[in-house]
Structure 1
Amino acid sequence: MRETYDAPRPLDSLWQAPAIIWVLLAGECLAVVLALAPGVDGERWVHFGLTSLVIQWVALLTLGTLYLLRGVLAGLRPQRLAYVTVALLLANTWLVAGAVWLMVREVWPMADGGWFALVLRLTGITLAVGLLGLAAFQNHWRGRLHAVRAKQSELQALQARIRPHFLFNTLNTGAALVHERPEEAERLLLDLADLFRAALAGPRQISLEDELSLARRYLEIEALRFGDRLTIGWHLPRELPAVTVPALSIQPLVENAIRHGVERMANGDIDISVTATPDTVVVRISNPLPPAGGRSFAGHQVGLNATQVRIEALTDGRGSVQTQVEGGRFIATVRLPVGV
């Protein structure tokens, strides 16, 4: 079954540590404001402690409920999901207020109607905070969708610039092989069909194993073109990690290694390695730098830029693409967080 490109989902960012920390800090700021407000009876530090306890319980319960219901809520539109979140915030406020009443009503008596008035105040505060958060969320989400649409348009333009160069080189190689080595020409065309089937499918995600298979097909095509001039080294673990990558994201880095390395040398090599830790998968593509004084051109770095943008978008900024020169070799390193 073909995988489709996943649009950003509103709840995904809530499970990340920075979002949880900001929710807790915002709760503490609200507790400080309520403790310093005029009309607070008794010790303000005690009021701050109790208010902070209630707010943090409400916030964490709401986050926990959203996480437990993530499968059910995944199909909701962002605006409806925001309203559901406000409703859960209210429900958890009443739940926490009821729990506090059951635990401390004997040691913290109030005048008749005092607890009811407190619940009304908490409900009003929750509604005010929830509606402010709803407005902020809608503005943030609209901005994020606009950014994603703009990025997708940019990526499609980048891909359109990659394909012609590769296609022309491959067709030239195939034309040269048709009469002398027809079997290899047939294999070249089959590999080309697989690559362009992936390219024409549009933005989507595939497994790292499938993406490396596409890169291998590309290198098989280039091996027919360069012959003994090209040496390819694969260094892969026995089982590849189960992570996903944007389709045709590793292959452009391999193409760059051909264009800016092997193509300008009498003999060249490409090494592709994959290593994994419990948290990160690292893909490294390296090629020797051409000799100083040889033919050189900077290129547009289309493949590198496209891969960097797409992996950062897929991993919400946790993945990266970095390049470096070390020991006379140009190295492109892709880092992918496990769980993507």
Structure 2
Amino acid sequence: MPSQPTNATTSETARDRALLPAALPAFCTARVILITLAMGAALSLLMTLVPGVGPERWARFGTTLWLVTWIALVTVALLCATRRWLGRAPLAVLLGTIVVLLLTVTAVTSVTAFGALQSIGWRPHETAGEFLVHNLAIALLVGLIGIWMFSLHLGNARQINAAAEARLSALHARIRPHFLFNSLNTVAELVHDRPEAAEQAVLDLSRVFRAALASDSTSTLTEEIELARRYLEIERWRLGERLHVDWQLPDPLPDAQLPVLTLQPLVENAVRHSVERQAEPGPIRIECQVGRQAIGLVIENDRVAGPDHHGNGMALANIRDRLALMFGEEASLRAGPVDGRFRVKLVLPRASEGVAR
């Protein structure tokens, strides 16, 4: 059975490569730079406090801190510039590249620093070659420790990703039957009074389900809008002219990924808790607001007087959970009364900005 380990290893490697862009830190951010400088200062202090340094301890600390800071900043800058390429590289190539980059920067900085320090009167107790080898050994040790820490981080990210995928699948499994049963109820209401409309609604429903079930876990904004349109066509057979939708969409629609069956439950809530419960309901407004880094989807409908049971709690909680699993804090879903109407606003990162999780 030699093929099984090979397939398992290949699958694990593919998962690791998919995780690398998200697992790599954003080297250009102020947080990473501050952490790097703090670790460099800690390393310099540790090297200064070792026995045998003598009365030049704090002068040694200043020199070491200066050298380590330059090595750290140049290395982080190069990692920042090559992050996209590193995220696409195999894991072994990624780790090897980082170590080689660290050693190269250490070598160039050490040679430059040795000459610069000598020019201002520094009298070293070691030759230039010994100084270079000494710094390279320290850099290699630091690099190996960094690889070990990154491996632990990647393993933890793999476990979190597997748990998130399992939970996301469970949430998809809950939302699809909910969609099916509510749509079948719509068809059932038409069977006795309008059999021809019921027949056409079944045909529309088959097209809706073909689109809804074709996607595995994610969908595009264009596909979600089309699915919502088809759902509203089914409801129009039952509600007639009472159902009026005001679409406010840009042309073309922006690129965005989102969990499958995200928009349809929100539109369904607007129909069930507005149009169905009023003789003369106002229009349902569906608007897409496009920003530089995010996209806003607004679904707005009339509020119905009486007890506030607006919306399906399971659907809203389900959508929030799926958005959190896919985008983290980059996406949000807010619902509540605004200016006498009920508004749901869904915020998504643009395809070029967000990273699906």
TM-based fold match above 0.5: yes
2:79 corresponding residue in structure 1: 62
Which of 325, 329, 337 in structure 2 is aligned with 1:317? 329
Which of 208, 213, 217 in structure 2 is aligned with 1:203? 217
2:243 corresponding residue in structure 1: 230
1:331 corresponding residue in structure 2: 343
- CA shift for structure 1 position 253: 1.9
> Which amino acid is the alignment partner of residue 42 of structure 2?
V
Q: 1:100-122 CA deviation, whole Å, 9 max, x = no partner?
A: 45766655766585333333333
Tell me the distance in 2 between the aligned counterparts of 1:111 and 1:16: 38
Percent of aligned pairs sharing the same letter: 28
- CA shift for structure 1 position 57: 0.9
Judging by fraction of residues, say which structure has more helix. Answer: 2
Q: 1:179-227 CA deviation, whole Å, 9 max, x = no partner?
A: 94647743652454344443353213x3322221111112222222222
| Count of aligned pairs | 328
2:20 corresponding residue in structure 1: 10
Moved over 6 A (4+): 102-105
Which of 18, 26, 32 in structure 2 is aligned with 1:23? 32
- TM-score (normalizing by structure 2): 0.76
Q: 1:276-319 CA deviation, whole Å, 9 max, x = no partner?
A: 1222211111222221148x4874x2322332233333334222
2:197–2:237 Cα contact (<8 Å) kept: no
Q: Is 2:58 the counterpart of 1:49?
A: no
Tell me the distance in 2 between the aligned counterparts of 1:124 and 1:305: 53
Unaligned residue ranges in structure 1 (runs of 5+): none
Alpha-carbon distance change, 60 to 118 in structure 1, aligned in 2, over 3 angstroms: farther
Which of 223, 232, 251 in structure 2 is aligned with 1:219? 232
Q: Is 2:263 the counterpart of 1:250?
A: yes
Q: Is 2:149 the counterpart of 1:136?
A: yes
Which of 312, 317, 329 in structure 2 is aligned with 1:305? 317
* SS across alignment from 1:42: helix
Q: CA RMSD in A?
A: 3.5
Q: 1:240-263 CA deviation, whole Å, 9 max, x = no partner?
A: 222222222222222232334434
1:230–1:267 Cα contact (<8 Å) kept: no
> Which amino acid is the alignment partner of residue 272 of structure 1?
I
2:332–2:347 Cα contact (<8 Å) kept: yes
* SS across alignment from 1:315: helix
1:150 corresponding residue in structure 2: 163
2:284–2:301 Cα contact (<8 Å) kept: yes
Q: Which has the larger radius of gyration?
A: 2
- CA shift for structure 1 position 81: 3.8
* SS across alignment from 1:11: helix
Tell me the distance in 2 between the aligned counterparts of 1:45 and 1:333: 54
Q: Is 2:180 the counterpart of 1:167?
A: yes
Tell me the distance in 2 between the aligned counterparts of 1:259 and 1:116: 79
2:6 corresponding residue in structure 1: none
2:204–2:230 Cα contact (<8 Å) kept: no
1:323–1:332 Cα contact (<8 Å) kept: yes
Tell me the distance in 1 between the aligned counterparts of 2:238 and 2:329: 37
